[in-house]
């Protein structure tokens, strides 16, 4: 990869340096990094959308084999460029090399997971209902359906994941797998890393002889250029990971279009953890150690960070909180991703500490260095929490709120007041888990992933994973932004009625040349008709 130019990728072309430039900032030292980066112009954003629209028919017609080759090619190029990607990302984010290495591995894994999925082909959900002209009172027509790509997708990168939720992250991988062109809005927090990654994707597009509009990377302010892209008539869907304010702004824009489009926005989540007395009595210290690690992992800058700890007063619970408080007090501070995120964290801590009925239980050590977050543990009671919806607002960073409950009725009241979350966790003995089926059902109703005797941080990329949940954790709680099921966000169903066999998509033809598993007249079959 050549040296950074600070310019967008508009298909195969580069942007122009006409707007006022900005620079990436090393959060650990609060110093600016070279080079200058130039926001995309309105004309360039429009061009990227037009190119994407032009590429749509070609990409929609690609075979699963060709899409798989493209996805694997991107992964291979990322693997070769890992040293330069890590070098830049550690400067721009303050994240350690090991974290960046691991996230790059996850990014390549996502691309290869989708490659395997589309190469096999069964994901399209091919369904066939053969004709029955003798059916009474009306003949039954031949009709067959499958999933088709939705069209151009805009992806807004996350601040807290320079790889896995960024230029070549899960949204991009799943949209490419579906057969959609992608326009990425690079995040200013790691814009140099984004440029390197964008160049790798452009190289893969060219090498696989795909149309120019398959991919574009736009630099600039999401509230300006991003909103322009969101309004463009060529766009068909949006993937977003970030704040609730940013996600709602895109949702409102998409809904106000002459032709509304779906927005798949991952926003805020406080990820409640419910601790039962038997678990605390038998392994309270181990739970405290694990919970601190989950709260402070990545300086708390994970969407699955456990922000609420719900427990009933008992001797075991008091001992547990004493242990957890001591661990928080001994915790060193850590570099946050940007100065803005650090400022928001400090503001959140100050506001929470000033709220009636809330107290600071423990705070970690402060080095006094720039953009460092101090781990902070708060506590309140169930009645205060239920009465104050603001206590459900996410504080993005290494902070958690303990909610003391007098009895199980108050635990139920707390859970009943909760908004949607990405995860919910419960710790209990086998006997307690059997006794609390209703409580676990409550957790299932408010979260996309329920964790038993574990911790919510760490999201496995797989066919079964669900990274989503009821609003506001996700704008559409029926979907996931991680795992192979994410592909369905960028598809739509199409039915073909009374088509000649030769005119049907290959996946629906009688001979089943791809050997797919299809639903034929209500029964699963791999056979030809």
Kindly report, residue by residue over 107-158, the tens digit of the pLDDT.
999 999 999 999 999 999 999 999 999 999 999 999 999 999 999 999 999 9
Degrees (nearest 5) of the Cα angle 511, 515, 520?
65
Per the annotation, the verdict on 266 as an active-site residue is yes
Instruction: Say yes or no: 249 and 306 in one domain.
Output: no
The one catalytic residue in 92, 266, 277, 410 is 266
Look up the CATH number of the domain holding residue 46.
Answer: 3.40.605.10
Place of tokens 């002209």: 133
Average pLDDT of the chain is 97
Using the predicted structure, report yes or no on whether residue 197 has a pLDDT greater than 90. yes
Instruction: Say yes or no: 335 and 363 in one domain.
Output: yes
Nearest to residue 158, comparing CAs of 147, 173, 168, 143? 168
Using the predicted structure, report yes or no on whether residue 98 has a pLDDT greater than 90. yes
**Tens of pLDDT, residues 72-82:** 999 999 999 99
* Residue 157 covered by a domain: yes
* Residue 529 covered by a domain: no
**Tens of pLDDT, residues 297-331:** 999 999 999 999 999 999 999 999 999 999 999 99
Nearest to residue 371, comparing CAs of 345, 332, 353? 345
* Residue 499 covered by a domain: no
**Distance separating alpha carbons of residues 52 and 314, to the nearest angstrom:** 60
Instruction: Say yes or no: 244 and 279 in one domain.
Output: no
The one catalytic residue in 180, 303, 331, 405 is 303
Question: What average pLDDT does this structure show over 32-50?
Answer: 97
298 φ/ψ angles, rounded to the nearest 5 degrees: 65, 30
Instruction: Say yes or no: 337 and 247 in one domain.
Output: no
Instruction: Say yes or no: 292 and 193 in one domain.
Output: no
**CA-based diameter of the chain, in Å?**
82
The confidence score (pLDDT) of residue 1 equals 43
Instruction: Say yes or no: 283 and 353 in one domain.
Output: yes
Using the predicted structure, report yes or no on whether residue 2 has a pLDDT greater than 60. no
* Residue 511 covered by a domain: no
Give the 3-state DSSP-derived string for 154-202, with helices as H, strands as E and coil as C: EEECCCCCCCCCCCCCHHHHHHHHHCCCEEEECCHHHHHHHHHHHHHHH
Q: Which long-range contacts (CB under 8 A, 24 or more apart) does 244-251 make?
A: 244/268, 244/394, 244/472, 246/156, 246/222, 247/472, 247/475, 249/223, 250/156, 250/226, 251/475
Instruction: Say yes or no: 428 and 363 in one domain.
Output: yes
Work out the pLDDT band at 222, boundaries 50, 70, 90.
confident
The confidence score (pLDDT) of residue 221 equals 83
| CB neighbour burial string for 216-228, b if at least 16 within 10 angstroms, e if fewer | bbbbbebeebbeb
Structural domain of 125: 9-267+480-488
* Residue 508 covered by a domain: no
Per the annotation, the verdict on 303 as an active-site residue is yes
Torsion of CA 346, 348, 350, 352, to 10 degrees: -150
Using the predicted structure, report yes or no on whether residue 460 has a pLDDT greater than 60. yes
Instruction: Say yes or no: 123 and 256 in one domain.
Output: yes
* Residue 468 covered by a domain: no
Instruction: Say yes or no: 135 and 235 in one domain.
Output: yes
Question: What average pLDDT does this structure show over 431-449?
Answer: 97
Q: Tell me the CA end-to-end span of the chain in Å, nearest whole number.
A: 50
The confidence score (pLDDT) of residue 411 equals 97
Instruction: Say yes or no: 42 and 177 in one domain.
Output: yes
Rg of the chain (C-alpha set): 25
In the DSSP assignment, the letter for residue 503 is: G
Domain total of the chain: 2
Express as a percent the part of the chain with pLDDT over 90: 98
Look up the CATH number of the domain holding residue 277.
Answer: 3.40.309.10
Nearest to residue 55, comparing CAs of 196, 184, 171, 209? 209
* Residue 167 covered by a domain: yes
**Distance separating alpha carbons of residues 258 and 80, to the nearest angstrom:** 44
**Tens of pLDDT, residues 153-190:** 999 999 999 999 999 999 999 999 999 999 999 999 99
Instruction: Say yes or no: 277 and 319 in one domain.
Output: yes
Instruction: Say yes or no: 131 and 243 in one domain.
Output: yes
């Amino acid at each position: 990869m050549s040296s950074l130019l600070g310019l967008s990728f508009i298909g195969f072309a580069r942007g122009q340096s006409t707007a006022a430039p900005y620079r990436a900032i090393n959060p650990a030292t609060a110093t600016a990094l070279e080079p200058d980066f130039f926001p995309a112009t309105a004309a360039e954003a429009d061009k990227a959308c037009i190119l994407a629209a032009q590429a749509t028919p070609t990409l929609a017609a690609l075979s699963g084999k060709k899409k798989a080759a493209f996805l694997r090619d991107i992964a291979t190029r990322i693997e070769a460029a890992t040293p330069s990607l890590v070098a830049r990302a550690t400067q721009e984010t303050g994240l350690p090399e090991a974290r960046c290495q691991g996230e790059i591995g996850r990014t390549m894994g996502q691309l290869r997971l989708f490659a395997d999925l589309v190469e096999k082909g069964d994901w399209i959900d091919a369904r066939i209902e053969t004709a029955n002209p003798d059916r009474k009172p009306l003949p039954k027509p031949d009709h067959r359906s499958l999933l088709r790509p939705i069209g151009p997708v805009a992806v807004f990168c996350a601040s807290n994941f320079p790889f896995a939720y960024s230029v070549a992250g899960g949204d991009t991988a799943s949209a490419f797998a579906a057969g959609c062109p992608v326009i990425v809005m690079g995040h200013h927090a790691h814009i140099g890393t984004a440029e390197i990654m964008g160049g790798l994707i452009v190289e893969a597009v060219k090498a696989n002889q795909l149309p120019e509009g398959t991919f574009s990377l736009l630099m600039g302010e999401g509230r300006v250029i991003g909103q322009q892209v969101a309004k463009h008539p060529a766009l068909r869907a949006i993937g977003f990971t970030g704040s609730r304010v940013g996600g709602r702004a895109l949702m409102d824009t998409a809904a106000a279009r002459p032709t509304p489009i779906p927005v798949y926005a991952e926003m805020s989540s406080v990820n409640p953890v419910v601790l039962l007395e038997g678990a605390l009595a038998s392994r309270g210290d181990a739970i405290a150690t694990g919970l601190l690690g989950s709260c402070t992992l990545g300086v708390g800058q994970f969407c699955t960070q456990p922000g609420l700890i719900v427990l009933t007063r008992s001797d075991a619970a008091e001992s547990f909180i004493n242990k957890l408080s001591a661990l928080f007090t001994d915790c060193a501070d850590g570099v946050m991703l940007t100065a803005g995120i650090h400022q928001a964290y400090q503001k959140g801590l100050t506001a929470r500490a000033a709220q009636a009925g809330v107290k600071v239980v423990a705070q970690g050590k402060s080095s006094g260095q720039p953009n460092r977050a101090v781990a902070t543990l708060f506590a309140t009671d169930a009645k205060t929490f239920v009465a104050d919806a603001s206590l459900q607002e996410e504080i993005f960073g290494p902070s958690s709120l303990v909610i003391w409950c007098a009895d199980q009725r108050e635990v139920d009241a707390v859970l009943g007041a909760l908004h949607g979350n990405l995860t919910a966790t419960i710790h209990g003995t086998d006997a307690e888990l059997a006794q609390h089926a209703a409580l676990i059902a409550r957790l299932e109703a408010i979260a996309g992933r329920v964790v038993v005797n574990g911790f919510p941080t760490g999201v496995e990329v797989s066919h079964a994973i669900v990274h989503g949940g009821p609003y506001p954790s996700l704008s559409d709680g029926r979907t996931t932004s991680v795992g192979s099921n994410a592909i369905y966000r960028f598809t739509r169903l199409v039915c073909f009625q009374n088509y000649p066999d030769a005119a049907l998509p290959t996946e629906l033809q009688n001979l089943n040349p791809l050997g797919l598993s299809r639903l034929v007249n209500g029964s699963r079959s791999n056979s030809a008709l």
